[in-house]
Amino acid sequence: MSISNVGSALYSEALKALDTTRKADQTKKGGVAVSDGRQAQGDKVTISSRGNDLGRLAELAKAAPDIRSEKIAELKSALEDGSLKVDSRELAAKMFKEMALESWL
């Protein structure tokens, strides 16, 4: 059985999406436009880039696909009939790699 870097791919896609939206945010100016083109005066709230990143990651997580039922059924069946083979060294190596990746984020 081969184990893929599911988390790594997800983080990579999330970081790409964050980079794209951060660039779009940098092109926008602050203030609220009034119908005649002027900017409204008033309070201004700014959110740190980390706060923006967390908000966007939450949105990406909500948009992620649901559980793959057919894959779960396949694994459950293999586990029940004893045909599921897991390479413990490969599994441990990938877990450590994921932990190292998470520590960088």
pLDDT in tens, 30-89: 544 445 555 557 788 887 888 888 888 888 888 877 778 888 999 999 999 999 999 999
pLDDT in tens, 93-105: 999 998 887 777 6
In angstroms, rounded to a whole number, what is the distance separating the alpha carbons of residues 105 and 100?
A: 9
Question: Which pTM value belongs to this model?
Answer: 0.30
Q: Where are the domains of the chain?
A: 47-105
Q: Residue 17 above 50 pLDDT? A: yes
Q: What is the mean pLDDT of residues 15-30?
A: 65
